[in-house]
Amino acid sequence: MTKHVLITGGAGFIGSHIADLLLRTGHSVRVLDNLTPQVHGDVGGRPHYLDADAELVIGDVRDRSRLETALDGIDAVIHLAAAVGVGQSMYDIVSYVQTNDVGTAVLLEALSKRPVERLVVASSMSVYGEGLARRMDGTAVSPKERGLDQLRRGDWELRDRDGEVLRPIPTPESKQPALSSVYALNKYTQERMALIVGKAYGISTVALRFFNVYGPRQALSNPYTGVLAIFAARLLNSRPPLVFEDGLQQRDFVHVSDVARACLLALTTQTGIGQVFNIGSGQSRTVISIADDLARVVGMSQITPRITAKYRSGDIRHCFADISQSRTTLGYSPQVDFRAGLEELAAWLEGQLADDKIDSATAELERRGLVA
């Protein structure tokens, strides 16, 4: 049955792919987005990639009356509108709290007066802090954040109290959150607030913790988010990607079309209401390996990524998803092989121009003592 779906932040990277999938599967889509300049550039205007059948309401989620207009006739909401960047959240604190926490509060207050059938909220792997790890004796542990002394020595790996190196393992939803940036705190607040208010007002709510999402349409000129997009922006300007620490930190890269499929499942599932789910690929990759892979697929393997041996405040060492819960409860199954996804990204990059702002963004963090 056709659902009328509102996607907040739907003109962005992930939202536009969800819009495509919903329209393809017979739903109607309205997008509420303020076209943030950091993501969409200063000129603004409707992004050319946004499907013509998606209705665009330009407005801020914090604007109550605009939001109420956008909610008119809507059955389900996918809430993506957010300021997205771990490093930037550590100094642009008021703006992150306003957009992410207050924005979600305004949405939920509007929904409390006019409940919808379903709410899907985008959370993030950042809520875990360090992912789960194992000691040599096989016991699973939630690693402590690395201390400044350790990082200053360039000793990057996670260790237990006795100094033994811990081996990262897939992180399930049951891992206790360990919030190490304002952005992580925002995402946790968003998911909890949505689940609490959803339950109170009979709105079936599902929270999805996305891991590192990649694919076409990622904002290449936004230096604060999306490691593959940031590396791509460097390569398109014939500069080496800058890799923090030693590059051996592990992440989970999930293709945006798999994330879109997960959102559709969350919109229709009869099980898992009121729960959170990891949406990743279930595979781990080192950051240096993806910098090398990207340079190769864009035909620039002569450019060697530069390992900075620096660390950024709020960064974690390893985190990748255990997706067994989303497989069994939502029926989620990632389809896009990483190599095929990278090839597709490379083909899209061919037609793109990118303003590489990473040096100024890193200088900003350095000036504030957030990179060392």
Ligand X SMILES: NC(=O)c1ccc[n+]([C@@H]2O[C@H](COP(=O)([O-])OP(=O)(O)OC[C@H]3O[C@@H](n4cnc5c(N)ncnc54)[C@H](O)[C@@H]3O)[C@@H](O)[C@H]2O)c1
Residues that bind ligand X (CB under 6 A): 8-9, 11-15, 32-36, 39-40, 60-62, 80-84, 99, 103, 122, 124, 210, 212-213, 219, 226
Active-site annotation holder among 183, 188, 214, 332: 183
Give the other-Cβ count within 10 Å of 92's Cβ.
18
Query: Which DSSP string do the residues of 339-356 spell out, in sequence order?
Result: HHHHHHHHHHHTT-----
Nearest CB to ligand X, comparing residues 85 and 168? 85
State in angstroms the smallest separation of the CB of 315 from ligand X. 14
Nearest to 159 by CA among 150, 170, 171, 172: 150
In this complex, which beta carbon is closest to ligand X, that of residue 106 or of residue 370? 106
Nearer CB in complex with ligand X: 3/40: 40
Nearer to ligand X, 11 or 119 (CB): 11
The answer to whether residue 91 is catalytic is no
In whole angstroms, the minimum distance from the beta carbon of 8 to ligand X comes to 6
Min dist CB 65 to ligand X, Å, is 14
Residue pair 188/177 in contact (Cβ under 8 Å)? The answer is yes
Q: How far is the CB of 144 from ligand X (least distance, A)?
A: 23
Structure tokens at 122: 């985008």
Instruction: Give 227 or 365: the residue with its C-beta nearer to ligand X.
Output: 227
Q: Which secondary structure element, helix H or strand E, spans residue 33, and what is its range?
A: strand 28-33
Q: How many whole angstroms separate alpha carbon 30 and alpha carbon 59?
A: 12
Q: Shortest Cβ distance from residue 222 to ligand X (Å)?
A: 7
Distance CA 151, CA 139 (A): 25
Position of minimal CB gap to ligand X: 12
Q: What whole-number distance in Å separates Cα of residue 105 and Cα of residue 110?
A: 9
**Cα pseudo-dihedral 237, 243, 247, 252, rounded to 10:** -70
In the structure encoding, which two tokens stand for residue 273, read together?
Answer: 């209401």
Contact between 317 and 157 (Cβ < 8 Å): yes
* Catalytically active residues, by annotation: 183
